[in-house]
Amino acid sequence: MIKGLLFDLDGVLVDTAKYHYLAWKEIAEELGFLFAIKDNERLKGVSRKRSMEILLEIGNIFMDEKEQEAYCERKNRRYVEYISGMKEDEVLPGTVELLKEARAKGYLTALGSASKNSMIILDRLGLTRYFDAIIDGTKVEKTKPDPEVFIKGADALGLPCEECLVFEDSEAGIEAAHSAGMKATGIGSRENLPEADMVVGSLKEYTLEEIG
């Protein structure tokens, strides 16, 4: 029986992908190459460090680790500038309604995100109060597809992994959920999330009756 719901942040609850894209695009332009929207799909659900490595692969650029770290910090500062101006209407459709319904029906809820800026976003958009636990990039050592973030989320809720359901928009996140022994609902398209147990376009299309 499912008792806990674990949610990724970017692309599931809020649309911050565009801000990640704009910040990385600025870095790419500075380095002299084009970073297209389609390239941004490769960065979903992975760490900032790995995102930088992928960006350099796309631009066919070699850079030592120290320089990469400096660019990662610059990217993050720019991203934080963007998200600090977010408004509550940027919460994705169906998010608040589903979170309210989950709490009303007694489900425990946790955030399971690679983002190290999750609290800025949750506080800014008034979502913090809907979560019993928040596990983000400041609390884990390994990033998705490693299952650490979801295992820690289940532990924080006091539940075994098999009693938790994950909502994810990335292949890495779906893999992480399955590796943790959890079912995963994909947010997006079946084409992009072929391994998800079920797929919906957004949380607006999902009802808790789907859990059964």
Q: What is the pLDDT of residues 23-42, one digit of tens each?
A: 999 999 999 999 999 898 88
Residue 19 clears pLDDT 80, i.e. is over it = yes
Q: Determine contact, residues 76/48, Cβ cutoff 8 Å.
A: yes
pLDDT (0 to 100) of residue 157: 98
| Residues 188 and 44 sit within 8 Å (Cβ to Cβ) | no
What element of type H or E holds 68?
Answer: helix 65-83
Residues annotated as part of the active site? 8, 10
pLDDT at 81: 95
pLDDT of residue 40: 87
* Model confidence pLDDT, tens digit, residues 171-186: 999 999 999 999 999 9
Give the model's pLDDT for residue 211.
Answer: 83
Report which secondary-structure segment, H or E, holds 99: helix 95-104
SS3 content of the chain, % helix, strand, coil (to 5): 50, 15, 35
Structure tokens at 127: 């979502």
pLDDT digit string (tens) for 94-121? 999 999 999 999 999 999 998 889 999 9
Q: Is 88 helix (H, G, I), strand (E, B) or coil?
A: helix
DSSP H stretches of helix in 1-47: 17-31, 37-40
pLDDT at position 69 over 80 = yes
